[in-house]
Amino acid sequence: MTTPKKIIVIGAGPGGLTAAMLLSRRGFQVEVYEKQPQVGGRNSHIEMNGFRFDVGPTFLMLKPVLDEVFQEAGKKSDDYLKFIKLDPMYRLQFSSFAFEPTADLVHMKQKIKDQFPGLEAGFDRYVQKESLRFEKMYPCLQKHYSTLSTMVSKELLAALPYLSLGKSVFDILLGYFKKEDLALCFSFQTKYLGMSAWECPAAFSMLSYIEYAYGVYHTLGGLSEISTQMAKVAQENGARIHLNTPVRRIMIQNRCAQGVELENGEKIEADEVIVNADFGHAMTHLVDPENLRKYTPEKLKTKRLSCSTFMLYLGMDRSYDLPHHTIVFARDYRGNVLDIFNRQRLSEDISFYVRNASPSDPTLAPPGKSGLYVLVPVPNRRAPIDWSRECAPFRERVLESIQKRLGLNDLKEKILVEKVITPDEWQNEYFVYEGATFNLAHNISQMIYLRPRNKFEEFDRCYLVGGGTHPGSGLPTIYESGRIAANMIARKYGVVFESANRMV
């Protein structure tokens, strides 16, 4: 490029920051506009009286993808982030037993033998078949599907037999492990996508395998530190990040993105626009309705969405002897899942997740204290739930459940500071469409070519990154979406770049 092409990125979430890191490294003029006072979006943080909480993601999986995007940006992730590998990876707490998976495969098989005698051979089958599924499918997640011709790539054709079409994740896992409780230990990961294991397409049964193959990590300072350091790299490479600078709309002319208009009325032209806002929010707030054909507000209402989450961020006046990650299953787990995804109501018997990161990471709470992050899957805002009325009693139900299920009898009296996020706050404070925390659902009719595309099909010179486009929700796939968009733009302008992709 003789004159650097100008790229505008709307939103400084992990997908937009990935694209900004890479494109600025490749010589593009990159301007990132973020409405919040900090970077990260759902991968940002909350600070209260010396306590620091991640807003959203707390599991770092598939670390090599993060390492690669730093490498392609000319940096080493270890120079910016301190990674802590967790082992056991987490505790799974059922009503009658607890299970603590480890990425040590020999030890893991022995754990299954000890707690589920006679079923340990299923773990060998699981590792063998899911490793092959991952090997065949992951390359498909690293490519764009912006045209029908991309659907006949050799990678996707090779992966077709491993999609297990017509089956769910739970079907596949029960086939390996025979016993429902053990199958749940390997299928609950569909909640990372905001989906039910009984409905999530079988292709995602490889999610739990990724944890065993690559481990689960924490980053010192919380996972929000990843976004902070990505922004630093992007700026070192020449990108400019404008905080507290909301975008009012994408300027469209002749079905082509021309740039953006800021809330202050300033109009900024660009050669390409990357949209890192929540997809549903972008379509309903950042694009004039008359410019939309495929993703009008009316058509968005027909799309399947993920569940939402009820969040508690609790600064505690004591430390707790809890694992870094604890997932607690409702006594009637299937009933709880049906309430969330089908019956659209709040369960009396809830499942929940608690992160107690302070023992692993003393930067997150004052000495002798703990910051507890609590996540409860709940229906999104399409459910007939009045959160202005239900928030207080549901909070009480959650706290009572934590006390009873985890034995934290003094929990309520030890709370020093607290923040609550309901589906309403996800929509109104974090600009998440219908409070669907994990974005569009990942059913077959909303995947690959059928998901909003990385090179957005509504407008030219417009690209999508984040959980609402291909490859989907979750930090590693969101990084991939940023890398896909950056690569497409670089190739469009004939910019040669090195790929660090050695995943499979």
- Rounded to two decimals, the pTM is 0.96
pLDDT tens column, 342-397: 999 999 999 999 999 999 999 999 999 999 999 999 999 999 999 999 999 999 99
- Say how far apart CA 77 and CA 69 lie, in whole Å: 9
In this model, does residue 502 exceed pLDDT 70?
Answer: no
**pLDDT band at 3; cut points 50, 70, 90:** confident
pLDDT, position 504: 47
In this model, does residue 503 exceed pLDDT 70?
Answer: no
Residue whose entry in the numeric block shows the structure tokens 């306590």: 51
Q: What share of the chain is helix, strand, coil (3-state, %, to 5)?
A: 40, 20, 40
In CATH, the architecture of 307-433 is: 2-Layer Sandwich (3.30)
In this model, does residue 474 exceed pLDDT 90?
Answer: yes
**pLDDT band at 275; cut points 50, 70, 90:** very high
For the chain, percent of residues with pLDDT exceeding 70:
99
pLDDT, position 156: 85
Which of 67-71, 99-103, 154-158 has the least mean pLDDT?
154-158
**pLDDT band at 223; cut points 50, 70, 90:** very high
Residue type, 52: R
pLDDT, position 7: 98
- Say how far apart CA 484 and CA 481 lie, in whole Å: 5
CATH of 6-83+220-302+439-492, one of 3.40.640.10, 3.50.50.60, 3.30.530.20, 3.40.50.1000: 3.50.50.60
237-276 burial code (b ≥16 CB/10 A, e <16): bebebeeebbbebbbbeeeebbbbbbeeeeebebbbbbbb
Residue whose entry in the numeric block shows the structure tokens 């490029």: 1
**pLDDT band at 146; cut points 50, 70, 90:** confident
- Say how far apart CA 185 and CA 207 lie, in whole Å: 12
Q: What is the mean pLDDT of residues 209-238?
A: 98
Residues 36, 41, 45, 47: what is their CA dihedral angle, to the nearest 10 degrees? 30
Q: What is the mean pLDDT of residues 332-340?
A: 96
Q: What DSSP letter does each residue of 403-432 carry, written as one string?
A: HHHH--TTTGGGEEEEEEE-HHHHHHTT--
pLDDT, position 108: 96
The two tokens of residue 17 are: 């920051």
- Average pLDDT for the chain: 95
What's the DSSP call for residue 340? I
**pLDDT band at 1; cut points 50, 70, 90:** low
pLDDT, position 165: 87
Which of 36-50, 247-261, 437-451 has the least mean pLDDT?
437-451
Domain locations in the chain as residue ranges: 6-83+220-302+439-492, 105-206, 307-433
Q: What count of Cα atoms within 13 Å lies in the side-chain half-sphere of residue 212? A: 24
